[in-house]
Structure 1
């Protein structure tokens, strides 16, 4: 839950959409918003493969890492590589959006599994470098920033217990 503008909001997508709209990161019109949503949903699908990893057994985690790399390099990144081949520095329109942030986050998450994953995607490499160099993004990516830490064993065990998960 997030409390913002005297509202208590739940659901990640609703929270992120609200923040994106509030800070002018959600396109200039309905068409741009639809494109941003499309790109965000694609990266969300890829991230969904990754966020379950801490909750898997070692054997299943290894298998899942292979699935992540395979899908990232054969399905998701080729699509975003084509999207980046449109002569602009960002994904949609002429303004930085939350789709750019979301794609960067997905790239960074996959790189945690395999650091060379972008080796066959020069336009995504350039996109990552450009977005990472935006002053506010650059500051956030610096060591010691308030990024959410990678889930450790204590965290994953707590989540499993609370949600009664048996992986």
Structure 2
């Protein structure tokens, strides 16, 4: 598989989905190896492929990268999605980290028992509308992108997060017209438009099969 980018993760979103989005936005092809059994995971551990005994794992440029932020930063740097200088990169990092907070809340939802999901959704809505979305709404006032004059990884993360928010809270962007307009513009970026089409490597919302697989692989049988 020399020269090819290979993603090792479950056949679902989780912490790998932002990586898929970033590669998709960069127009980069990649392959995927899906974890389905505990034995696969243990084999990776025994081989020393998982530095901190965690997935995702991405094979790229002869390296085996772990830790989502490190993976995203490498891909963003490699494909010129980190701004034109250090100051822009600092802003991009701040916006990206805020979005990671939002997406972590969403990613946790399918793993919660039913009696806790309603509270988590309410917390997500309150945090998104009161703490996070106003920041992006303001940043996009009179601006096409969050930082500078070209697409960055922060824009890609905002696109992903905004769609995920709408999946769970369908009217959440009604008070954020700049974010909604941004979403419309991003849908017309050729690489992103392609990534949003059926048959792409974008994953659907998590279902019970995904949750069961993750729990089976990551939790050893007692």
Match of 1:50 in 2: 106
Q: Distance in 1 between matches of 2:111 and 2:169?
A: 19
User: Deviation at 1:144?
Assistant: 2.3
More helix, by proportion: 1
Match of 1:40 in 2: 96
Larger radius of gyration between Structure 1 and Structure 2: 2
Equivalent position SS for 1:68: helix
The alignment covers a number of residue pairs equal to 164
Q: 1:3 aligns with which of 54, 59, 79?
A: 59
1:101 aligns with 2:195: no
Match of 1:136 in 2: 191
Q: Distance in 2 between matches of 1:163 and 1:144?
A: 28
User: Deviation at 1:30?
Assistant: 0.5
Root-mean-square deviation over aligned CA pairs: 1.4
Consecutive aligned runs of 4 or more in structure 1 exceeding 3 Å deviation = 161-165
Q: 1:145 aligns with which of 190, 196, 200?
A: 200
Match of 1:15 in 2: 71
Q: Distance in 1 between matches of 2:151 and 2:145?
A: 6
Match of 1:67 in 2: 123
User: Deviation at 1:148?
Assistant: 2.0
TM-score norm. by structure 2 comes to: 0.71
User: Deviation at 1:119?
Assistant: 0.4
User: Deviation at 1:133?
Assistant: 1.2
Gaps of 5+ in 2: 1-56
Q: Distance in 2 between matches of 1:114 and 1:58?
A: 17
Note the alpha carbon deviations across 1:112-135, whole angstroms, 9 max, x for none. 111111101111111111112111
Q: Distance in 2 between matches of 1:16 and 1:157?
A: 26
Q: Distance in 2 between matches of 1:147 and 1:164?
A: 26
Match of 2:145 in 1: 90
Match of 2:12 in 1: none
Higher relative contact order (CA 8 A, sep 6+): 2
Q: Distance in 1 between matches of 2:137 and 2:158?
A: 11
Q: Distance in 1 between matches of 2:154 and 2:65?
A: 21
TM-score norm. by structure 1 comes to: 0.93
Equivalent position SS for 1:67: helix
Note the alpha carbon deviations across 1:51-90, whole angstroms, 9 max, x for none. 00110111211221111112111111111111111x2200
